[in-house]
Amino acid sequence: MFDYTVDEGFNVYVDTTSACNARCDFCIANTSGRLEGDTQRFLDGLETALSFTHEVDGTIQVVGGEPLISRRFSLVMSLMKKFTFRRVVVNTNGTRLEERVPQIVEGGVTHVNISRHAISDRENNEVMRFRKEPVTSSDLEAAVAALRNRNIRTRLQGNLINGHLDSLDKIKEYLDFAARIGVDTVSFSELFPLAAFPWYDAPVLRMVGSSSANTRAIVEEIRAMPGIVEYHPYEGRRSAWGDDKP
């Protein structure tokens, strides 16, 4: 038996699938329809990891690919209900989200993070390039309402991309959009250049290296806004939800 020292922000990332129905050029996991492998072996390993995480009151992050299109998703949620965790988060682009609400509830999910990188459906689809039917704002509004009725918190996450979310005015419009569809919180991320490792696709390297919005200018505008009591740049290890102590 090994002794472990575990950070209080301990996370387990449950990678349900590498497949995704979107083709975001900035995504380092940009894939199509790779096989998911032996499901029973995956579940056996997951149960071992969940058992350990439960003991240390950790956080579970369900990720992909796009986890909600995975044939494993319902199995993962059924397995999760055997344990309790400090927090269970599902990260998704919103595909099939309303349909998956019963399984999300079954798995004890506490938060759902939704990727959305523009306000309009047309512009968001330009960025995310869904392979089939894109996720619409109406889809998200219905799903968020269903999750809220089950006391599950939701967050929109937008990337600050040149030509899309690239100014303070657009960020304000995005925040108004988020309020209209009823999410609890919003986060914004900037793109960072990646080292030119061979496992990163060339379009991803080009996108993250040249398409980030001018975040420094946006931050300076925020600092100068009247009514801002405090502004703290993200320092890592601090909850992005803002409802935990640093």
Confidence (pLDDT) at 234: 60
Please provide the average confidence, as pLDDT, over all residues in the chain.
86
* Average pLDDT estimate for 39-43: 90
Is 0.85 topped by the overall pTM? yes
Strand 87-92 to 111-115 pairing? parallel
Alpha carbons 43 and 103: distance in angstroms, whole number: 16
- The average pLDDT across 8-35 equals 78
Structure confidence at residue 238 (pLDDT):
38
237 half-sphere exposure, CB direction, 13 A CA radius: 4
Q: How far is CA 65 from CA 31, 69, 114, 130, in A?
A: 7, 9, 13, 13
Average pLDDT for 99-123? 96
Which is it for strands 87-92 and 153-160: parallel, antiparallel or unpaired? unpaired
- 37: pLDDT strictly greater than 80: no
The pLDDT tens digits for 118-173 are 999 999 999 999 988 899 999 999 999 999 999 999 999 999 999 999 999 999 99
